Amino acid sequence: MGRLTLYAETSSAERPGAPLLESSDPQQIAELLAARGIGYDRWPVQAELPEAADAAAVLSAYAEEIARVQASGTYPTVDAIRLSPDHPDRVALRQKFLSEHTHAEDEVRFFVEGRGLFCLHLGAEVAQVLCEQGDFLRVPAGTRHWFDMGSAPRFSAIRLFDNPEGWVAVFTGDPIAESYPLLD
């Protein structure tokens, strides 16, 4: 189950103060994020996937949920990603995602297993959403954010896109991400 932590925005030279709010209640998280234009939901978790499950197995296990989301016509492209602590590019991928960026399209993720920390720069607030197994998050296009998968990533996520080429990050150059807590 996910967790939401809200902070007041700080300058890149300051550390954030105490959180304004923390919640692990899915309904409260959904309501608080919806008020800020972010979609959050909980999907039922299917049977545990075997360690060797590939992207096709992940997509097959959640075919019904994917079809439900794709029925709106908004997200015609879908894939699955699975990262483990021994992934050869884990350090470079983590560093890339830790920089604040935006996308021209929505960023939509469903966490099949494991966890990751989405950090959303929402005006005068920073919302950290710890997504864990069963969490579905929709970050609208243009939202400033960064993502931490941790130093030893272990997660699998379904990604839905409106762009067949997948998401393309546009980095803001703002070092704000350096001021907030990381996943580990």
Give the chain's domains with CATH numbers: 3-178 (2.60.120.10)
Mean pLDDT of the chain: 91
pLDDT at 13 over 70: no
Please give the pLDDT value at position 11.
65
pTM > 0.95: yes or no: no
Please give the pLDDT value at position 12.
63
pLDDT at 45 over 70: yes
Distances (CA, A) of 22 to 2, 53, 130: 11, 34, 11
In the chain, beta strands by DSSP E: 3-8, 21-23, 39-42, 77-83, 101-103, 107-122, 125-132, 135-139, 144-148, 155-161, 169-171
Q: What φ, ψ does residue 27 adopt, rounded to 5°?
A: -65, -45
Per-residue confidence band for 52, with pLDDT thresholds at 50, 70 and 90: confident
Q: Tell me: the pLDDT tens digits for 119-178?
A: 999 999 999 999 999 999 999 999 999 999 999 999 999 999 887 766 788 999 999 999
Please give the pLDDT value at position 4.
98
